[in-house]
Each structure stands twice: as structure tokens, then as C-alpha cells.
Amino acid sequence: MTKAIPTLSIGDHAVRAAHYVNGAWVDEGATFQVFSPIDQGMLGSMPEASDLLVDAAVDGALAAFPAWAALGAEGRLPYLQRFADAIVDRAEAFAQVESHDAGVLLSRLQHGIIPRAALNIRWFAEAALKLQDKELATHQAHHYVRHDPAGVCAIITPWNSPLMLSTWKAGPALAAGNSVVIKPPEWAPLGCSILAQAAEAAGIPPGVFNVVHGHGPTTGARLVANPRLSRISFTGSVPTAKIIAKVAAENLIPCSLELGGKSPFIVLEDADLDLAAATGALQYRNATQVCLAGTRFLVHEQVRDAFVEKMRAIVEQLVIGDPRDTATEIGPIIHPRQFEKVQGYVERAKAAGARLLWGGEPHPFGPLYYKPTMFTDVAPDAEIVQEEVFGPVLVMQTFTDDAEAVRLANDTVYGLGGVCFGEVGHARAVAEQVRTGFIWINSFGIRDLAAPFGGRGQSGIGREGGDYSFEFFSDIKDVIVPTAPFKASFAHR
């Protein structure tokens, strides 16, 4: 008798509590419990993939790769279009489950994240059609530069937006002709199980799309150590990335690492303070569990007081509560361990003499909710200035001129994003001097799938988006055809 696959009931939706390997649902391994950050209620148990199952997922992906690669971009297109459609068909399930599982605002999931997840699959599938051989003509030959599929790609995603980031990586990997093995975050794994259900419904061939659940030091470690991988794409913390990079180096496997940061939010003296303050308050979205948030506010001393009062007035009106409530603007911190980490940063900053402008304590709504917090009067080398908190805790410094603003902006080991408010020409001149992967002028959060995304320094290695993703998920090959008769000679160069 076939063993029934267990399911978890989340709201009105059933989630398969199993791995998806080589086109089959597999319920094996010791289980770990999954809790909702909304109220710390247990959502159920998920299995931890054994070493043998992780290896089997890579084996299946490797076996499926040649046929999937041979389809070409046009042959893969209908599969990926159906995959995107299947995500849309499950939009309400994704929204309910990921809101319970990761504490993300239900409204943001419905109107932003889930449509984007489907677009991640569809856009890259269509973009792959344009990856024609690039011709380079030299005096000796015609060169045809190809994007060949690389092989099996390991994808490891974080807990702050599992669905969006899984599709952001899997979309270009699959469109380029690779097979994938996804390791979801153990604190928020359920959305990736629904994603596997969508892949199955779309008819993605067995072995092309795989999901193995488990913890980083066990399942994740076994996955990235597999020498048969061709690529590893990881989003998460710097310490974990260093472990992955070291293991990958032993097998010479290319890595793409997106690691968050401590991005500057610069307010120049000629900024629109109302817009800057409103955008500043947006940095608390998802309880600032967002890698690209501007968390170091650098404000010109001439406008500091006015800016603080404008932003304070907005922050005081923010609604903190259940992310399933459409009125809520800030939800919970993901997990008690993360909550303790955030609280620790706040208490150490207080003890070091930093001055609170607002917040600085838990919010009474529930055990994992924290008040939006802003510190000021801090030394440039203070922990709260230099380290990523990944919670609703911001810090403000002042500057007297552009040179000081740039110096402070660049005074960190990170370099992911940035924000700069001011007269457009002035803001652009400052922004171009900031060492970062991207920076918004008088705006925040504008993204396009064709544009590069990634950081400098400790914020990571590589770029994602558009052709930049295809460069990573492909093996670039030069096919050389001589333009004159070739003579085989030891004297020939």
C-alpha cells in the first residue's frame, strides 16, 4: 500500500508536508516543527531530508538535465508558462500560507509578491528566447558566443520572502536550461511546498524541479557539498555564505551570494522632506526584515530637526498587528531567536549611550512584535551603525556637506543598496560616489527584472536579473570559425 503523503491545514488550504524529489512526493526523515510568527502557534511538522535523499535529488536533477537542456528556450517556454499560470492559480493559497508561515503582510503578498513570483518565471522564460548566439567578427575568424545550460543548480533561500526569492532564482535557472534543487528556509518552508505542487501541476518533467526540506547545517550543508552541482545560488547571512563559499571552492563550483547589508538613506539639504520622511517610514516594512532597506539614515544637519519630526509623525501612526488584517502595516519578527537578536542590539545600543528618538521596546500586540525604533547620537564605529540588525531598528547620523555624507555612507563593510533624497542633479552626484550595488534617487523599491541586483563587499558576489542572471546560470562558449583557410603549423598562433 502506498504511504499517504501528510498535509498541513493552513486556513482553507492544504500543504504537502513532504519533499519533492524526481517528480515524486517523499515523506522521510526526522521532523521539525514549524511555528507561525503571528501568534507562535504550531503550524505542523516538516520532514528533514537525509543525506541519501539530498543526494537522490541531485542525482535526479542530473539525470533530467540533458533532456531539459535539449528542449531549447522555445521548447521550455510552454512548460514555464504553465508553471507561472499554476502559481497564479494558487495565489490565495500562497498568500494565506506565507502570511501564516513568514508573517508577511497578506495584502503585500496578494498585490505584490505573488504576482511578482509568477512574473519571475514568465519573464525569464520569454527573455531566454532572446539569448541568440552573439557574433563577434575579428580579422581571423567569426566567433559565435553561446549561453549553454550549466547543469544542476542548488538554490538556498531565506525566510523573509521565500516564494519571491525562490522564483527569482529558479526562473532564470530553469529558463537557461538547468535543473534545480531548492532548499527552503526551515523557519518558513511551506510556500516552497506549494511551489513544488505548482511545478507538478504544470508538467515540469521529473527531476527538473526539486525541493528538499531541512536545516542549513544538515540538509543545506549536504546539498552544497555535492561535487556534481554546477551552480550554487544563496541569499542569506554573511557567516553562512562564507561556509558555502569555502565548500564550493573545494569543488570549484561558481556561487552567487546575496547577503544583505547596512544601506545608507541619505537626506540632502535640498530634499523634499515630506517625501523623504514618508519613504523613511517605509523602511519598517516587513519589520525591516528586508535586505535592501535603508537602515542608516544620514541627514544634513540643516534639515535634521524638521526631517525627524516629519518622520516621527508618520511612524507614530503606523499600525502594528496581525499581518492578515488589511489595516496592518508592520507585522511580526519571524522567530524568537531573531526577536532576541533584535532586542539584544537595542539593549546594547542603549547601554553604549545611543539616544532613542522613538521605539526601543517590544510592542504589546504579541510576543514577536517590536516597536519601530530609531537611534541617534552614535559613534561611527558603534555596533548599531556597523552591523545588520534585520529588524525594525534604524540609526541616524548627521553630516555637514556632501563629502562627509559620502564618507559616512561608505563607512561600512557592506554595499548592497542605498537611497538618496535631494534635487535630482545633486542627489545623483552624491549617489554616484556611494559604493553600493544600486541606489534609488528620490524613491525606493523600484525594481525591474532586466536590471542588475547585487552588492559589493560583504553584501555578496555576483548580480541577478536579466542577462546578468543568464550569465551566471549559463556556461559561456565561444564557437570559432576561421575566415581564411587554416594551416596547421607549429609556427601558427
Q: Which one from 48, 258, 329, 388 is the annotated catalytic residue?
A: 258
Burial class (CB in 10 A: 0-12, 13-18, 19+), 364: exposed
Residues in the chain: 493
Range 371-379 contact pairs with CB under 8 angstroms and sequence separation of 24 or more? 371/320, 372/281, 372/284, 372/315, 372/318, 372/320, 372/330, 373/346, 374/297, 374/311, 374/315, 375/349, 377/353, 378/349, 378/352, 378/354
Burial class (CB in 10 A: 0-12, 13-18, 19+), 238: middle
Q: Which one from 192, 255, 291, 420 is the annotated catalytic residue?
A: 291
Angle between helices 72-89 and 114-127 (to 10 degrees): 170
Within 10 Å of residue 111's Cβ, how many Cβ atoms?
12
Nearest-5° angle of CA 425, CA 464, CA 49? 145
Within 10 Å of residue 400's Cβ, how many Cβ atoms?
11
Q: What is the DSSP letter of 86?
A: H
- Catalytic site residue 258? yes
The residues that are catalytic are: 258, 291
